């Protein structure tokens, strides 16, 4: 009771920070296995395609949950989704700590995907809810940075334990189990708005967004899908590239690379938080292309530093694309549909994120790690260029923000004015007629 009253008395920014802490805690679990993959591969003797399957089964659990978690959060409230999700995360921690076979790892990754999906939908929506209408852009930035911060801390924790301990899995996931247990208490204390009485019978359905918001979500998915595919490669096959092509077998280096990637994703969003969405998207695609160029150089020259630079560019692209997508949702999607819209954005991003690494893993098994990595980098570059051409055309169809008082168009370059006017809007903007 004391915790609940203390959190409830806090200001909206403090409540947003508390909700963001929930997202960070869950996302520590998402990438904590990354530095341990090479150790598990050595102990259990599985192939590169099995390694990427471990990542893709996580995506499968995430996608299956995204299909229902967003609409459940919109219908029944964020707490009703977050508490079971945290429970799934704790189960995953136990499975990881005791896993001694590939099937056990597959089940653990699948269950961890379920937990992460609840943080993506209900967790990130709760940050926006507790921030209020006057802090939409701040809430989008905080939700996005809390995600990538957790994704950065997980590999760093696991890499440090893998370097210092003979059995790092137990230490890593026992620590995360304790963090998630404390987070359950925090979720119970957050002052969410009381659930509205249901107005009609509810049936689960495939996530969707209002018709007038679909172009905005499509734009976000185009960038987010590219960026997620690049970071997924670093998380799944990055440690193998370090070990086999660059000669670096230290697990702390693999963990530090993943950590640096997501720290860069966090830092890249800070100077961009007031930039127009068009500029954020353009910078995201530039970062993706530079990251893939560095990856090709790393393979050709066996330079670990080039791989690290490529990972950091990929992280910057990820952070900027995510910020752009969440900002579009905050500005153009009605509040009661935002968790579902966030689910749609992430489904669109995680589908290619799950497919591209496993296809690359299959190619690596049939050719070589160097050839498969180069093909991935070239393919992602071409996809990024094509996606930017689509985004540039789509943005022309999105009408400018108009003042609710005068009806005059607000220049997109006047970002602070743009944000202030957007904060006065209660719903999505009308679409321009064709």
- Of the listed ranges 8-12, 227-231, 285-289, 358-362, the one predicted with least confidence: 8-12
CA atoms lying within 13 Å on the CB side of residue 165: 13
pLDDT tens, residue by residue, 103-118: 999 999 999 999 999 9
Q: Does the structure show a pLDDT above 90 at 346?
A: no
What is d(CA 275, CA 215) in angstroms, rounded to the nearest whole number? 20
Q: What is the pLDDT of residues 347-392, one digit of tens each?
A: 898 888 888 888 898 899 899 999 999 999 999 999 999 999 999 9
Residues 70-111: pLDDT tens digits?
A: 788 878 888 889 999 999 999 999 999 999 899 999 999 999
Residue 425 confidence (pLDDT): 31
Mean pLDDT of 44-52: 83
Residues 375 and 379: their CA atoms lie apart, in Å, by 6
**Least trusted range by pLDDT, from 60-64, 125-129, 198-202:** 198-202
Region 192-205: mean pLDDT is: 62
Name the residue among 132, 123, 127, 94 with its Cα closest to residue 111: 94
Using a CB cutoff of 8 Å and minimum separation of 24, what contacts does 98-106 make?
99/169, 101/44, 102/44, 102/46, 102/50, 102/54, 105/33, 105/40, 105/44, 105/54, 106/53, 106/54, 106/57
Higher pLDDT, 398 or 49: 49
Once rounded to an integer, what is the mean pLDDT over residues 282-291? 96
Higher pLDDT, 286 or 396: 286
For the cut 50, the answer to whether the pLDDT of residue 403 exceeds it is: no
Residue 134 has a pLDDT of 67
Above 60 in pLDDT, residue 415? no
Nearest-5° angle of CA 91, CA 92, CA 95?
90
Pick the CATH number of 2-192+210-398 from 3.60.15.10, 1.20.1250.20, 1.10.10.10, 3.10.20.600: 1.20.1250.20
The C-alpha atoms of residue 108 and residue 91 are separated, in whole angstroms, by: 8
Model confidence at 193, pLDDT cuts 50, 70, 90, reads: low
In the chain, where the domains are located: 2-192+210-398
Token representation of residue 380: 């992602």
């Amino acid at each position: 009771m004391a915790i609940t009253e203390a959190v409830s008395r806090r200001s909206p920014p403090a409540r947003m920070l508390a909700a963001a802490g929930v997202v960070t805690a869950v996302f520590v679990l998402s990438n904590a296995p990354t530095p341990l993959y090479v150790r598990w591969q050595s102990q259990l003797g599985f192939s590169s395609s099995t390694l990427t399957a471990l990542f893709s089964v996580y995506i499968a659990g995430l996608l299956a949950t995204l299909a229902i978690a967003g609409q459940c959060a919109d219908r029944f409230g964020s707490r009703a989704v977050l508490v079971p999700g945290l429970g799934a995360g704790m189960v995953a921690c136990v499975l990881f700590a005791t896993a001694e076979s590939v099937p056990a790892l597959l089940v653990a990754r699948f269950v961890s995907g379920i937990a992460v999906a609840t943080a993506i939908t209900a967790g990130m929506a709760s940050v926006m809810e507790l921030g209020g209408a006057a802090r939409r852009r701040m809430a989008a930035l905080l939700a996005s940075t809390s995600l990538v911060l957790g994704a950065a801390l997980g590999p760093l924790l696991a890499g440090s334990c893998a370097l210092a301990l003979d059995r790092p899995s137990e230490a890593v996931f026992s620590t995360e189990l304790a963090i998630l247990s404390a987070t359950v208490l925090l979720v119970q204390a957050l002052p969410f708005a009381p659930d509205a009485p249901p107005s009609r019978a509810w049936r689960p359905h495939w996530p969707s967004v209002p018709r007038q918001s679909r172009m905005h979500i499509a734009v976000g998915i185009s960038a987010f899908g590219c960026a997620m595919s690049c970071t997924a490669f670093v998380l799944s096959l990055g440690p193998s590239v370090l070990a086999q092509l660059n000669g670096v077998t230290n697990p702390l280096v693999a963990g530090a690379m993943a950590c640096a990637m997501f720290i860069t994703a966090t830092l890249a969003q800070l100077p961009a938080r007031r930039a127009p969405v068009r500029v954020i998207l353009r910078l995201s695609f530039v970062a993706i292309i530079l990251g893939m160029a560095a990856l090709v150089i790393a393979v050709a020259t066996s330079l670990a530093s080039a791989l690290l630079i490529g990972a950091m560019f990929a992280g910057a692209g990820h952070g900027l694309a995510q910020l752009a997508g969440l900002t579009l949702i905050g500005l153009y999607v009605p509040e009661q549909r935002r968790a579902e819209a966030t689910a749609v954005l992430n489904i669109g991003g995680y589908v290619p994120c799950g497919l591209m690494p496993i296809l690359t893993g299959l190619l690596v098994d049939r050719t070589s790690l160097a050839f498969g990595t180069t093909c991935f980098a070239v393919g992602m570059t071409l996809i990024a260029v094509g996606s930017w051409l689509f985004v540039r055309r789509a943005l022309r169809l999105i009408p400018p923000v108009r003042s609710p008082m005068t009806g005059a168009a607000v220049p997109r370059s006047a970002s602070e004015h743009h944000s202030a006017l957007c904060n006065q809007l209660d719903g999505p903007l009308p679409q321009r007629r064709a």
